[in-house]
Amino acid sequence: MRREMITTSPRGLNQELLPYHLYQKAKRLGIWNPQDIDLSRDREDWSRLTADQQEEVLRRISGFLGGEEAVTLDLLPLIMAIAREGRIEEELFLTTFLFEEAKHTEFFRMVLDGIGAKGDLSQYHGDAYRKVFYEILPEAMERLVTDQSPEAVAEASTVYNMFVEGVLAETGYFAFYETLDKAGIMPGLMQGIGCLKTDESRHISYGTFLLQRLICDDPRLFDVVVNKMNELAPLVGQIFQGEKKWERSPLGARLEDLVNFAHKQFNVRIEILARAKGQTLDELYKNAKTAVDV
Protein backbone atom coordinates (compact mmCIF):
# COMPACT_ATOMS: atom_id res chain seq x y z
CA MET A 1 0.00 0.00 0.00
CA ARG A 2 1.32 3.42 -0.96
CA ARG A 3 2.06 5.74 1.93
CA GLU A 4 0.41 9.12 2.34
CA MET A 5 1.92 11.70 0.00
CA ILE A 6 3.75 14.38 1.96
CA THR A 7 4.21 17.09 -0.63
CA THR A 8 0.50 17.19 -1.52
CA SER A 9 -0.56 17.27 2.13
CA PRO A 10 -0.96 20.46 4.18
CA ARG A 11 2.55 19.79 5.54
CA GLY A 12 4.24 20.26 2.18
CA LEU A 13 8.03 20.57 2.23
CA ASN A 14 9.75 21.68 5.41
CA GLN A 15 12.02 24.37 4.02
CA GLU A 16 13.59 25.02 7.42
CA LEU A 17 15.27 21.62 7.70
CA LEU A 18 19.02 21.57 7.16
CA PRO A 19 18.88 18.87 4.43
CA TYR A 20 16.57 21.11 2.41
CA HIS A 21 19.10 23.97 2.72
CA LEU A 22 21.88 21.59 1.69
CA TYR A 23 19.79 20.61 -1.32
CA GLN A 24 19.51 24.25 -2.32
CA LYS A 25 23.26 24.75 -1.89
CA ALA A 26 23.98 21.65 -3.97
CA LYS A 27 21.89 23.04 -6.83
CA ARG A 28 23.83 26.31 -6.71
CA LEU A 29 27.34 25.05 -6.02
CA GLY A 30 27.47 21.41 -7.08
CA ILE A 31 26.93 21.76 -10.81
CA TRP A 32 30.56 21.67 -11.91
CA ASN A 33 31.68 19.48 -14.77
CA PRO A 34 34.96 17.53 -14.54
CA GLN A 35 35.18 17.69 -18.32
CA ASP A 36 35.53 21.50 -18.12
CA ILE A 37 38.78 21.32 -16.14
CA ASP A 38 41.93 21.93 -18.18
CA LEU A 39 44.61 19.31 -17.43
CA SER A 40 47.18 20.39 -20.03
CA ARG A 41 49.42 22.05 -17.44
CA ASP A 42 49.08 18.98 -15.20
CA ARG A 43 50.53 16.77 -17.92
CA GLU A 44 53.53 19.08 -18.23
CA ASP A 45 54.06 19.24 -14.47
CA TRP A 46 53.70 15.47 -14.17
CA SER A 47 56.44 14.89 -16.74
CA ARG A 48 58.87 16.96 -14.62
CA LEU A 49 58.28 15.07 -11.37
CA THR A 50 60.79 12.51 -10.14
CA ALA A 51 59.80 8.85 -10.09
CA ASP A 52 59.28 8.99 -6.31
CA GLN A 53 57.15 12.13 -6.59
CA GLN A 54 55.05 10.53 -9.32
CA GLU A 55 54.52 7.49 -7.14
CA GLU A 56 53.33 9.72 -4.30
CA VAL A 57 50.78 11.42 -6.58
CA LEU A 58 49.60 8.08 -7.96
CA ARG A 59 49.28 6.61 -4.48
CA ARG A 60 47.18 9.55 -3.30
CA ILE A 61 44.97 9.68 -6.41
CA SER A 62 44.45 5.91 -6.36
CA GLY A 63 43.34 6.18 -2.74
CA PHE A 64 40.82 8.85 -3.59
CA LEU A 65 39.60 7.16 -6.76
CA GLY A 66 39.06 3.81 -5.04
CA GLY A 67 37.29 5.61 -2.21
CA GLU A 68 35.05 7.64 -4.52
CA GLU A 69 34.09 4.52 -6.46
CA ALA A 70 33.33 2.73 -3.21
CA VAL A 71 31.13 5.47 -1.76
CA THR A 72 29.31 5.83 -5.09
CA LEU A 73 28.49 2.12 -5.11
CA ASP A 74 27.75 1.90 -1.38
CA LEU A 75 25.46 4.94 -0.90
CA LEU A 76 22.23 3.47 -2.28
CA PRO A 77 21.21 1.47 0.83
CA LEU A 78 21.30 4.66 2.94
CA ILE A 79 19.13 6.47 0.40
CA MET A 80 16.68 3.56 0.49
CA ALA A 81 16.59 3.57 4.29
CA ILE A 82 15.83 7.31 4.39
CA ALA A 83 13.23 6.93 1.64
CA ARG A 84 11.43 4.18 3.56
CA GLU A 85 11.05 6.60 6.47
CA GLY A 86 9.40 9.13 4.17
CA ARG A 87 11.97 11.84 4.94
CA ILE A 88 11.49 13.63 1.64
CA GLU A 89 13.68 16.66 2.43
CA GLU A 90 16.60 14.38 3.27
CA GLU A 91 16.09 12.31 0.16
CA LEU A 92 16.01 15.44 -2.00
CA PHE A 93 19.51 16.21 -0.79
CA LEU A 94 20.69 12.61 -1.12
CA THR A 95 19.86 12.67 -4.84
CA THR A 96 22.57 15.32 -5.24
CA PHE A 97 24.88 13.38 -2.93
CA LEU A 98 24.98 10.37 -5.25
CA PHE A 99 25.35 12.58 -8.34
CA GLU A 100 28.36 14.28 -6.79
CA GLU A 101 30.07 11.05 -5.72
CA ALA A 102 29.74 9.84 -9.30
CA LYS A 103 31.37 13.03 -10.58
CA HIS A 104 34.24 12.64 -8.11
CA THR A 105 34.88 9.15 -9.45
CA GLU A 106 34.85 10.48 -13.01
CA PHE A 107 37.20 13.33 -12.12
CA PHE A 108 40.00 11.27 -10.58
CA ARG A 109 39.87 8.73 -13.43
CA MET A 110 40.02 11.64 -15.89
CA VAL A 111 43.14 12.97 -14.17
CA LEU A 112 44.85 9.59 -14.36
CA ASP A 113 43.96 9.24 -18.04
CA GLY A 114 45.17 12.78 -18.66
CA ILE A 115 48.65 12.11 -17.26
CA GLY A 116 48.85 8.70 -18.92
CA ALA A 117 48.59 6.51 -15.82
CA LYS A 118 47.05 3.33 -17.22
CA GLY A 119 48.38 0.62 -14.92
CA ASP A 120 46.69 -1.23 -12.07
CA LEU A 121 46.83 1.33 -9.28
CA SER A 122 45.09 -0.92 -6.77
CA GLN A 123 48.63 -2.00 -5.91
CA TYR A 124 48.70 1.15 -3.76
CA HIS A 125 45.72 -0.01 -1.69
CA GLY A 126 47.42 -1.36 1.42
CA ASP A 127 45.96 -3.67 4.05
CA ALA A 128 44.47 -0.89 6.19
CA TYR A 129 42.94 0.80 3.13
CA ARG A 130 41.43 -2.48 1.96
CA LYS A 131 40.08 -3.12 5.45
CA VAL A 132 38.12 0.14 5.30
CA PHE A 133 36.99 0.30 1.68
CA TYR A 134 36.81 -3.38 0.75
CA GLU A 135 35.25 -4.63 4.00
CA ILE A 136 34.06 -2.20 6.68
CA LEU A 137 32.35 0.39 4.46
CA PRO A 138 30.43 -1.99 2.17
CA GLU A 139 29.42 -4.22 5.07
CA ALA A 140 28.06 -1.30 7.11
CA MET A 141 26.14 0.08 4.14
CA GLU A 142 24.81 -3.25 2.83
CA ARG A 143 23.47 -4.04 6.29
CA LEU A 144 20.88 -1.30 5.66
CA VAL A 145 19.27 -3.39 2.92
CA THR A 146 17.78 -5.69 5.58
CA ASP A 147 18.25 -3.70 8.77
CA GLN A 148 17.09 -0.07 8.94
CA SER A 149 17.29 0.14 12.72
CA PRO A 150 18.63 3.39 14.21
CA GLU A 151 21.73 1.49 15.33
CA ALA A 152 22.44 0.25 11.79
CA VAL A 153 21.88 3.70 10.26
CA ALA A 154 24.09 5.31 12.91
CA GLU A 155 26.91 2.86 12.28
CA ALA A 156 26.67 3.26 8.50
CA SER A 157 26.70 7.06 8.68
CA THR A 158 29.60 6.99 11.14
CA VAL A 159 31.72 4.90 8.78
CA TYR A 160 30.69 6.78 5.62
CA ASN A 161 30.25 10.41 6.68
CA MET A 162 32.30 10.78 9.83
CA PHE A 163 35.29 8.53 9.13
CA VAL A 164 35.67 8.10 5.36
CA GLU A 165 34.59 11.62 4.44
CA GLY A 166 35.18 13.54 7.66
CA VAL A 167 38.59 12.10 8.56
CA LEU A 168 40.22 10.24 5.66
CA ALA A 169 39.08 12.46 2.77
CA GLU A 170 39.65 15.70 4.68
CA THR A 171 43.17 14.57 5.54
CA GLY A 172 43.75 13.59 1.92
CA TYR A 173 42.76 17.10 0.80
CA PHE A 174 45.14 18.53 3.37
CA ALA A 175 47.93 16.37 1.92
CA PHE A 176 47.25 17.67 -1.59
CA TYR A 177 47.35 21.26 -0.40
CA GLU A 178 50.55 20.64 1.58
CA THR A 179 52.28 19.25 -1.52
CA LEU A 180 50.97 20.11 -4.98
CA ASP A 181 49.28 23.37 -4.03
CA LYS A 182 52.28 24.71 -2.12
CA ALA A 183 54.51 23.77 -5.03
CA GLY A 184 52.16 25.48 -7.49
CA ILE A 185 51.90 22.44 -9.73
CA MET A 186 49.09 20.39 -11.30
CA PRO A 187 46.50 23.21 -11.12
CA GLY A 188 43.77 21.21 -12.86
CA LEU A 189 43.92 18.51 -10.22
CA MET A 190 43.86 21.14 -7.49
CA GLN A 191 40.90 22.91 -9.10
CA GLY A 192 38.96 19.67 -8.99
CA ILE A 193 40.07 19.06 -5.40
CA GLY A 194 38.56 22.43 -4.48
CA CYS A 195 35.24 21.44 -6.06
CA LEU A 196 35.30 18.06 -4.32
CA LYS A 197 36.04 19.63 -0.97
CA THR A 198 33.04 21.94 -1.30
CA ASP A 199 30.79 19.00 -2.24
CA GLU A 200 32.07 16.87 0.62
CA SER A 201 31.45 19.64 3.15
CA ARG A 202 27.74 19.28 2.37
CA HIS A 203 27.95 15.50 2.68
CA ILE A 204 29.62 15.74 6.08
CA SER A 205 27.06 18.33 7.19
CA TYR A 206 24.25 15.96 6.28
CA GLY A 207 25.91 13.02 8.04
CA THR A 208 26.36 15.16 11.14
CA PHE A 209 22.71 16.19 11.02
CA LEU A 210 21.58 12.59 10.54
CA LEU A 211 23.62 11.32 13.47
CA GLN A 212 22.56 14.21 15.70
CA ARG A 213 18.94 13.47 14.83
CA LEU A 214 19.40 9.84 15.79
CA ILE A 215 21.22 10.76 19.03
CA CYS A 216 18.51 13.25 19.99
CA ASP A 217 15.95 10.51 19.60
CA ASP A 218 18.06 7.94 21.49
CA PRO A 219 21.12 9.32 23.37
CA ARG A 220 22.51 5.79 23.73
CA LEU A 221 23.44 5.92 20.04
CA PHE A 222 26.20 8.40 20.85
CA ASP A 223 28.14 5.52 22.38
CA VAL A 224 27.55 3.46 19.22
CA VAL A 225 29.11 6.26 17.18
CA VAL A 226 32.06 6.79 19.52
CA ASN A 227 32.81 3.08 19.75
CA LYS A 228 32.81 2.74 15.97
CA MET A 229 35.07 5.78 15.54
CA ASN A 230 37.49 4.43 18.14
CA GLU A 231 37.50 1.09 16.36
CA LEU A 232 38.45 2.82 13.10
CA ALA A 233 40.96 5.31 14.53
CA PRO A 234 44.08 3.06 14.44
CA LEU A 235 43.63 2.60 10.69
CA VAL A 236 44.28 6.28 9.92
CA GLY A 237 48.02 6.24 10.51
CA GLN A 238 48.37 2.91 8.71
CA ILE A 239 46.60 4.25 5.63
CA PHE A 240 48.69 7.40 5.33
CA GLN A 241 51.94 5.68 6.27
CA GLY A 242 51.55 3.15 3.49
CA GLU A 243 54.10 0.41 2.98
CA LYS A 244 57.08 2.76 2.96
CA LYS A 245 58.33 4.21 6.24
CA TRP A 246 58.81 7.95 5.85
CA GLU A 247 58.79 11.12 7.88
CA ARG A 248 58.62 13.52 4.93
CA SER A 249 57.25 12.50 1.55
CA PRO A 250 59.04 13.13 -1.79
CA LEU A 251 56.73 16.13 -2.33
CA GLY A 252 57.33 17.52 1.15
CA ALA A 253 54.39 16.31 3.24
CA ARG A 254 55.22 15.38 6.83
CA LEU A 255 53.54 12.23 8.12
CA GLU A 256 53.29 13.77 11.57
CA ASP A 257 51.33 16.71 10.15
CA LEU A 258 48.91 14.41 8.33
CA VAL A 259 48.28 12.26 11.39
CA ASN A 260 47.82 15.32 13.61
CA PHE A 261 45.37 16.81 11.11
CA ALA A 262 43.41 13.54 10.99
CA HIS A 263 43.36 13.41 14.80
CA LYS A 264 41.95 16.95 14.89
CA GLN A 265 39.22 16.03 12.40
CA PHE A 266 38.40 12.95 14.44
CA ASN A 267 37.96 14.96 17.63
CA VAL A 268 35.91 17.67 15.91
CA ARG A 269 33.41 15.10 14.63
CA ILE A 270 32.93 13.60 18.10
CA GLU A 271 32.69 17.01 19.77
CA ILE A 272 29.96 18.23 17.43
CA LEU A 273 27.94 15.04 17.71
CA ALA A 274 28.13 15.22 21.50
CA ARG A 275 26.12 18.45 21.36
CA ALA A 276 23.05 16.44 20.40
CA LYS A 277 22.94 14.69 23.76
CA GLY A 278 20.23 16.33 25.84
CA GLN A 279 18.78 18.26 22.91
CA THR A 280 15.23 17.76 21.74
CA LEU A 281 14.52 17.23 18.06
CA ASP A 282 12.86 20.65 17.92
CA GLU A 283 16.01 22.23 19.34
CA LEU A 284 18.17 20.35 16.85
CA TYR A 285 16.04 21.40 13.89
CA LYS A 286 16.10 24.98 15.08
CA ASN A 287 19.86 25.13 15.58
CA ALA A 288 21.04 22.60 12.96
CA LYS A 289 22.49 25.09 10.50
CA THR A 290 24.84 26.40 13.18
CA ALA A 291 25.44 23.05 14.87
CA VAL A 292 26.84 21.35 11.78
CA ASP A 293 28.94 24.28 10.54
CA VAL A 294 32.24 22.41 10.73
Determine contact, residues 255/171, Cβ cutoff 8 Å.
no
pLDDT digits (tens, 9 = 90+) for 252-271: 999 889 999 999 999 999 99
List residues bridging with 254 in a β-sheet: 248
Residue ranges covered by each domain of the chain? 43-291
pLDDT at 175 over 60: yes
Reported residue count of the chain is 294
pLDDT at 246 over 80: no
Architecture per CATH, domain 43-291, reads as Orthogonal Bundle (1.10)
CA distance 277 to 221: 10
Residue 75 DSSP code? S
Determine contact, residues 43/115, Cβ cutoff 8 Å.
yes
Percent of the chain with pLDDT over 90: 79
Residues contacting residue 152 through CB under 8 Å, at least 6 positions apart: 81, 143, 144
Q: Average pLDDT for residues 126-139, to the nearest whole number?
A: 96
- Give the torsion sign (CA, 28, 103, 97, 196): negative
pLDDT at 112 over 50: yes
What per-residue confidence (pLDDT) applies to 10? Answer: 66
pLDDT digits (tens, 9 = 90+) for 24-48: 999 998 889 999 999 999 999 999 9
- Lowest mean per-residue pLDDT among 11-25, 47-61, 136-150: 11-25
Can you tell me whether residue 15 is helix, strand or coil? coil
Can you tell me whether residue 245 is helix, strand or coil? coil
What per-residue confidence (pLDDT) applies to 224? Answer: 96
CA distance 161 to 151: 15
